[in-house]
Each structure stands twice: as structure tokens, then as C-alpha cells.
Amino acid sequence: MNLRRDEAGSLSVLTLSLVMIAIVLILGGGGVTSALVARMRLIDAADGAALSAANALADTAYTQGVGKEVPLSNGGVVAAARDYLATRPVPQDILTWTLEPQTGTPDGRTAVVAMSATVQIPLLSQVLDAFGGSVTVSVVSRARAVVR
């Protein structure tokens, strides 16, 4: 009979533990999904900026011609990417986005757009902010315009 009194309430502790684990899994899964969706939106913006930058002619194209590929300059790629992003609204789950210093052209033919964004994760952003952290997503997109 004493065993029953010692075990009283143990089912409540087990149930509470399982509920806490379920809540953590649900919030964690939702947070990861939200970050991945924000990353896809950032990739979309970076791809568009890279395509826009790949079509931006460098000044040398007017004096030396185009050749087989559109010649690019670092300044032209950065300016075209910045102009493209200025025309797009920032998605609602992205707080800020910025062009990274790697944006430019490594070889004069390929436009490279590197971006990073601070992502807002539903229900977890407040917890992360309380600990002084946030979720940052970074992407790199490349594009080249070929003349045919």
C-alpha cells in the first residue's frame, strides 16, 4: 500500500515532460521552417539582382565591344544589384537585408551578388532577442550573360 502513495503524481510528471518536449519540437520545427522560407526569399532576391547585374554593361563595352560575354565591372555589378533591390519590397519575415562586400565580379564576366538578412522567426524571435541573438541568413548568387 505504501507503493501507491509514493507513485502518486508520477503520471502527471511524465505527461508534463512529454508536453514540454512536444512544444519544443513544434516551436523548433516551425522556427527552422520559417528560416528556410526566408532563405528561399533571399535567394530569389539575390538571383534577380545577379541577373540584373549580369546585364549591366561595363564602360569598356562601348570602346572594345561585347565579344562572347557581356563585360562587367565591380562598380556596375554593385550599382545594378543595389538598384534592383531598391525596387523590391523586403519580405515580411525578413527584418533587414544588405549586400555583402563580396558583391562584384571576380573575372569581369560573372556577376556575384552576396546578401545577408536578419530573419524574424515567429514566437522564437522574442526569446532569441532576450538572449541577445538573432537569426542571420546569408546567400550568394552568380549570373553570367552570354552573347549568342
Quick one: pLDDT at residue 8? 65
Quick one: pLDDT at residue 50? 94
Q: Is 147 helix (H, G, I), strand (E, B) or coil?
A: coil
Ramachandran area for residue 108 (φ above 0: left; ψ -120 to 50: alpha; else beta): left
The answer on pLDDT for 28 being more than 60 is yes
The answer on pLDDT for 56 being more than 90 is no
Residues 6+ apart with CB under 8 A from 4: none
pTM of the model: 0.78
Work out the widest C-alpha separation in the chain, in whole angstroms.
Answer: 99
